[in-house]
Amino acid sequence: MVSRQELEALSEEELKAMLDKDRMPKHVAIIMDGNRRWAKQRGLPILQGHRAGSRATRQVVEACVELGIPILTLYAFSTENWRRPPLEVQALLHLIEVTLKRERDELNANGVRVRHIGSTEGLPESLVRTLKETEEMTRDNSTLLLNIAINYGGRNELVRAVHSIAQKIKSGLLKPEDIDESIISAHLDTNGLPDPDLLIRTGNEWRISNFLLWQIAYTELYVTPTLWPDFNKREFLLALIDFQRRERRFGGISHVTAR
């Protein structure tokens, strides 16, 4: 097996050649962490870190399209992020909106379908409108489904799912004894999608941070010290190679034999 040190010496094309196309993850989720630290290390305003992070996002989306990964879910703004300074929150949400407007024509041309997951409550009206317009523009695309988690929290998602199920029970559309894992999954923001195969977290933080709590029960985790603005296609390839070396047992026998 090629060591991590040896992998670091390989070119992007050599890394790509190492991947088994038949064992690519169907769904990759990413906690994009480190924008603020990246900016502080360079003596730059925090917003510059978020802007640099948006360039990393573009590279990963391009890599997923290129490699044929069908679903990518990005944690862009959590329910906890509202606790940050108001000016930073306002600037970050504005940056998300501007970036969507700038990128959506190219995303559409490349067959990327954009979908928002999370709550729209409290979000600026212009951002909600931009999200809806982008979803409508790209709704028929099938090359890549890009889920953008904005104002998203795993606990909040579960609470909203429970409320929805409770309303159906109250109206007689559902019986309490009908509730099982499939019913709960059907009321989540990711309804109809396979659970993530791989969760990448940048910035060397070993936390889930309230992200996809239900969906990542058997997801493979990959944590890298690389801050999100420095994450690129090469880093993404290294994460995929690591994933393909894992034995996925799902609580039982091995589903993949590590090389």
> Which residues are designated catalytic?
33, 81
Q: With beta carbons less than 8 A apart as the criterion, state whether 133 and 165 touch.
A: no
Rounded to whole angstroms, how far apart are CA atoms 130 and 134?
6
Place of tokens 């429970």: 162
Q: Tell me how far apart the terminal alpha carbons of the chain are, to the nearest angstrom.
A: 7
Q: What is the spatial distance between Cα 256 and Cα 234, in angstroms, rounded to a whole number?
A: 24
Closest CA to 152 of 251, 82, 63: 82
Beta strands across the sheet bearing 71-78: 112-117, 144-152, 71-78, 27-31, 198-201, 220-223
Nearest alpha-carbon partner for 200 in 49, 60, 17, 58:
60
Instruction: Identify the H or E element spanning 184.
Output: helix 181-186
Cβ atoms 199, 30 nearer than 8 A: yes
What percentage of the chain's residues is helix, strand, coil (to nearest 5)? 50, 15, 35
**Rg, C-alpha atoms of the chain:** 19
Within 10 Å of residue 124's Cβ, how many Cβ atoms? 14
